[in-house]
Amino acid sequence: MSKTRLAVLGLAALLMAGCGPVNPGAAAVVDGTRIPMSDVDDVADVYCTASLSGQGGSAAGIDSSALRRQSVADLVSGAVADRVAKERGYQVTVPALAAADREQLEQMFGDDLDAALELIERNQRTGVIAQQMAREADSSLQEGEALQQAGQQLLAQATADSDIEIDPRFGLDDTVQQIADSGSLSVAGGELDATATEDRPAALQCS
């Protein structure tokens, strides 16, 4: 798979490293729209599978709390981008995956291919909207890294200006910036903490 496709999937972001109460069962609320915890779980599962594949199936060093933070951040950014696109009347066209990329995804995800494709399309849509925001703000920006960076900055500002509540257990503030290592979000075995990833119980890591 090309580096561009991997970035779209969000794998590159996984290598990087003040909230009020949120509706029961919601990971976040963006301008009144709930993002269910189940959606975060689904996205995190895709990222986990991709991360495991990138490490030859080994879960060592993969931090499930980081995957879940990345998942909720992507979903919040996507919700903000969709609102901006609707308000500004953008026509959003997501480029189709190349056949070779799809074949590699099939090998990687198997029966979970649809979930992976949905996530890729969602993340691509967010990126396309951010680029449209940048072109609208500066017509001299048409392609390239400068366009992408400008779009990311504008989307980040739109996120900061939105009414967002994120479950504080994710350790993210309402601008989707990390403010804690992991908070206290439970996953299949107990509380996440700042323990070194390789020293955590298997239940708290990708598997």
Q: What is the DSSP string of 36-95?
A: EHHHHHHHHHHHHHHHHHHTTT--TT-BHHHHHHHHHHHHHHHHHHHHHHHHHT----PP
Taking the C-alpha atoms of residue 118 and residue 75, their distance in angstroms, rounded to an integer, is: 12
Residue 19: the pLDDT is 33
Q: Which domain holds residue 85?
A: 3-204
Mean pLDDT by 10 residues, the chain (207 residues): 48 36 70 92 89 62 79 94 96 90 88 90 93 92 87 93 90 81 42 34 44
Residue 95: the pLDDT is 87
Residue 21: the pLDDT is 39
Q: Are 85 and 74 in contact (CB under 8 A)?
A: no
Q: Are 134 and 151 in contact (CB under 8 A)?
A: yes
Taking the C-alpha atoms of residue 35 and residue 98, their distance in angstroms, rounded to an integer, is: 30
Number of domains in the chain: 1
- The DSSP 8-state label assigned to residue 197 in this structure reads G
Residue 64: the pLDDT is 78
Task: Write the CA distances from 93 to 21, 48, 125, integer angstroms.
Answer: 36, 27, 7
